[in-house]
């Protein structure tokens, strides 16, 4: 299989996967709690009106984001004191919770858009997680940057005049002996902050072990990767460590309106299941992915500005994507959908002939679609929509 590397720095991903087979380059975090509620099998939201309706949907209590400011507002709302130090740690926990470690959907910068990453993706390697973390810290107004550390990348945030490392991929940050958060140069100067930490912050999670066992069946890990010798050496060997500005340029994707839109007669179908059909940019099957289906009424035409990634189109009709027109089912449209250099997000429907359906990627880690218990319409406009819930027979 050929490997498509879009940026020279991304050669590190081979090393990252190599580390993963030995000690793990990242993990999926905890699985999150659920209640004893009856589990949903599917949810269908339909628009019976003659007008397009913008709305939001909360799945398992979590909503979709309209734009990066919307993402930031959720992080800020979870910060008890609201000061910069508290925000930085809450941001780290937020990123740990809403992503898992796997080769990304794209090698391009658009995959680091916080809106698209958290709405539609939710997986990536260490550079993807570091770049999204940095983008959100920067949007908060904090000085932030991404370090390349000889095969591993981390985000660093400046708080109260000091740089602090927040590694959501390895689910760790590190402390100085006085309890303050360490930066990259602190760890390089004193490797014992990693080899003999006063308060280790990470544990080996079940999802991390499952990731590693894909490569090494029966593999057992007794130490969290963040405190293992290969990663200590990465910080200590400073000759090949540098701040990498390529990751500091992230596209601004999204709009000010509620994130979801249903045209007249359209429906949005959400299944409580994962998809194995999505592939990473080098053709590996993504283990924890999900899609929702947006079906349009026959005869409808108009714009579909959605901050969600379109990964497939079914039925018949004609579309406009980035100024170019495509017939649904054509080889040209399939090639455009397979082109990972540009996201397919804003779609113009020129003609919806028959059962025209767009499949939209959804962050299965954030929304836990394989364990869907609740689905609620948000906003006053959403009250005009009809929602149908089907529950799994016999409960869980």
pLDDT in tens, 255-277: 778 999 999 999 999 999 888 78
pLDDT digits (tens, 9 = 90+) for 203-250: 555 555 565 666 666 666 666 778 888 889 999 999 999 999 999 999
pLDDT over threshold 70, residue 198: yes
CB 207 within 8 A of CB 287: no
What's the pLDDT score for residue 114? 97
Least confident of 71-80, 164-173, 217-226, 230-239: 217-226
In percent, the amount of the chain with pLDDT more than 90 equals 70
Q: Which helix (H) or strand (E) is 57 found in, with range?
A: strand 53-59
Residue 334, C-beta contacts closer than 8 angstroms, at least 6 positions apart: none
Predicted TM-score (pTM) of the model is 0.88
Band of the pLDDT at 56, cuts 50, 70, 90?
Answer: very high
In the chain the domains, ranked by start, together with CATH numbers, are 8-34+67-248 (3.10.620), 260-391 (2.60.120)
The mean pLDDT value for 273-287 works out to: 89
The arithmetic mean of pLDDT across residues 330-335, rounded, is 97
pLDDT digits (tens, 9 = 90+) for 3-39: 334 454 444 444 444 444 333 333 333 344 444 579 9
**Residue 153 pLDDT > 80:** yes
The reported pLDDT for the residue numbered 223 is 65
Please state, in angstroms and rounded to a whole number, the distance separating the CA atoms of residues 251 and 265.
33
Residues 350-385: pLDDT tens digits?
999 999 999 999 999 999 998 999 999 998 888 899
Q: Of the candidates 128, 124, 125, 161, which has an alpha carbon nearest to the alpha carbon of residue 142?
A: 161
d(C-alpha 322, C-alpha 197), whole Å: 51
Q: How far apart are CA 178 and CA 229, in angstroms?
A: 23
CA atoms of 85 and 160, how far apart (whole Å): 8
Phi first, then psi, for residue 116 (nearest 5°) are -70, -40
Residues 301-322: tens digit of each pLDDT: 999 988 999 999 999 999 999 9
Given a cut of 90, whether residue 287 has pLDDT beyond it is no
Cα–Cα distance between 362 and 387 in angstroms, integer?
19
Q: How far apart are CA 346 and CA 42, in angstroms?
A: 26
Q: How is 347-396 classified by DSSP, letter by letter?
A: EEEEEEEEEEEEEEEE-HHHH-GGG---EEEESSGGGGSEEEEEEPTT--
What average pLDDT does the structure give for the chain?
87
Pairing of strands 100-101, 123-124: parallel
86: confidence class by pLDDT, cuts 50, 70, 90: very high
């Amino acid at each position: 299989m050929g490997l498509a590397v879009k940026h020279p720095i991304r050669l590190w991903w081979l090393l990252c996967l190599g580390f993963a087979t030995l000690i793990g380059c990242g993990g999926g975090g905890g699985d999150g709690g659920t209640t004893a509620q009856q589990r949903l099998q599917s949810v269908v939201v339909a628009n019976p009106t003659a007008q397009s309706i913008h709305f939001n949907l909360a799945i398992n209590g979590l909503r979709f984001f309209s734009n990066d400011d919307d993402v930031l507002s959720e992080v800020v709302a979870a910060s008890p004191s609201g000061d910069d130090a508290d925000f930085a740690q809450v941001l780290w926990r937020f990123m740990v919770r809403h992503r898992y470690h796997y080769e990304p959907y794209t090698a391009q910068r658009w995959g680091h858009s916080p809106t698209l990453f958290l709405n539609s993706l939710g997986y990536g390697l260490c550079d993807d997680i570091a770049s999204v973390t940095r983008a959100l810290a920067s949007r908060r107004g904090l000085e932030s940057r991404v370090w390349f550390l000889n095969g591993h990348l981390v985000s660093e945030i400046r708080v109260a005049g000091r740089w602090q490392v927040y590694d959501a991929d390895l689910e760790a940050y590190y402390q100085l002996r006085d309890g303050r958060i360490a930066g990259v140069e602190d760890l390089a100067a004193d490797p014992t902050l990693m080899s003999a930490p006063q308060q280790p912050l990470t544990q080996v999670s079940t999802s991390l072990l499952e990731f590693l066992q894909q490569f090494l069946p029966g593999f057992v890990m007794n130490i969290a990767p963040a405190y293992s010798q290969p990663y200590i050496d990465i910080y200590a060997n400073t000759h090949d460590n540098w701040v990498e500005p390529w990751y500091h340029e992230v596209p601004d994707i999204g709009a000010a309106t509620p994130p979801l839109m249903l045209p007249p007669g359209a429906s949005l179908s959400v299944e409580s299941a994962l998809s194995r059909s999505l592939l990473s940019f080098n053709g590996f099957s993504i283990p924890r992915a999900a899609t929702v289906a947006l079906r349009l009424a026959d005869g409808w035409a108009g714009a579909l500005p959605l901050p969600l990634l379109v990964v497939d189109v079914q039925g018949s009709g004609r579309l406009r994507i980035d100024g170019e027109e495509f017939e649904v089912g054509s080889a040209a449209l399939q090639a455009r959908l397979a082109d990972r250099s540009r996201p397919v997000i804003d779609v113009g429907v020129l003609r919806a002939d028959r059962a025209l359906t767009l499949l939209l990627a959804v962050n299965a880690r954030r929304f836990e679609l394989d364990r869907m218990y609740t689905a609620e319409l948000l906003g006053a406009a959403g009250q005009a929509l009809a929602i149908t819930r089907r529950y799994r027979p016999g409960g869980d």
